[in-house]
Amino acid sequence: MKTIQTMTLLFFLVLAFIGQTMADTTEPLSSWNQGKTKQQIIEFVNKVVMADSPDFVPAAERIAVFDNDGTLWAEQPMYFQLFFALDRIKQLAPEHPEWNTTEPFASALKGDMKGIIAGGEQAILDIVMASHAGMTTEEFEVIVKDWLATAKHPDTQRLFTDMVYQPMLELLSYLRANDFKTFIVSGGGIEFIRPWSEQVYGIPPEQVIGSSIKVAFEMREGAPVLVRQPALDFYDDKEGKVVAIHQQIGRRPIAAFGNSDGDLQMLQWTTAGQGARFALYVHHTDEKREWAYDRESSIGKFDKGLDQALAKSWTIVDMKQDWKRIFSADK
């Protein structure tokens, strides 16, 4: 009997050892191909989390910031929030017959993107203000969630939240498993991203930084509400990203991730700090599985940022070479 009990105990000990060994050797970033890029990420994380490393960084200081459009999810043929805004314009059009003859709304209703673009940044701002203001913050959150539940990308026919990059989701999880606090720092609307960031990225709303419109406190039917106003409050792009990080996080990040010139100042600010620092650019090079664009693109232009990344030896992800798959639904 003792022999049977001893053998049973040994059997379970062996199973436990094998299970632990497998867990210890499970390689992170499974959707990333082996190579320099993946190795640079892992080496950086290892040196800042190992207590005996000269580059050790306490967990409270392990701040990582991520751009959203083109870095965490796709951004072609135009920013996804603009798709949302255009859908809202069409939905609201019956209440605004004047839009049929007023630009940029007339072009928006006809689906004429060239006409919208001809109006420059002001035309985009007019569309965003008209489609994003006039409701409470809670009402806007419901509108965003309802849209994302059904709206599909015109090229892939996938839900926009299915256009998230699987390798970047793994990177977010890998960093958090090593006690990093991950933030989104986006030129997109903060209240457009917050309703779904935790479900999709694992990033809670209080760790989302973005552009914002003004809100005003009101009492409606005896209840306090915040009402969205048709006026820009803060534009979180380029230098604005650094200002927002300083104001809202209060710590300089030790790692920053972007894909365009709009992220350059954020990466510069991050890498200018003392101690171990990491900067990564996602380079869109895969015209078959996604899109290929950089220096000449009107969306996600990657020109000055590419020059800086090469000059400073920042990590550059070649999507075509470095990623086994782009989206989670890809094989």
CA atoms of 252 and 274, how far apart (whole Å): 10
Q: Two tokens at 40?
A: 């640079």
Domains: count for the chain: 1
Span of 23-27, 29-33, 237-241, 288-292 with lowest mean pLDDT: 23-27
pTM score, two decimals? 0.91
> Is 143 inside any structural domain?
no
Instruction: Tell me the CA distances in angstroms from 138 to 60, 124, 220, one per residue in order.
Output: 32, 24, 13
Structural domain including 233 reads 31-77+164-322
- Residue 133 located in a structural domain: no
- Give dist(CA 325, CA 331) in Å, integer: 7
Q: What is the mean pLDDT of residues 293-319?
A: 97
Confirm whether 244 is domain-assigned.
Answer: yes
Give residue 82's pLDDT: 96
pLDDT tens per residue across span 73-122: 999 999 999 999 999 999 999 999 999 999 999 999 999 988 898 888 89
CA distance 164 to 132: 23
Instruction: Indicate whether 24 belongs to any domain.
Output: no
Q: Write the CATH number for 214.
A: 3.40.50.1000
Whether residue 116 is contained in a domain is answered as no
Query: Is 147 a domain residue?
Result: no
Rounded mean pLDDT, 191-207 = 98
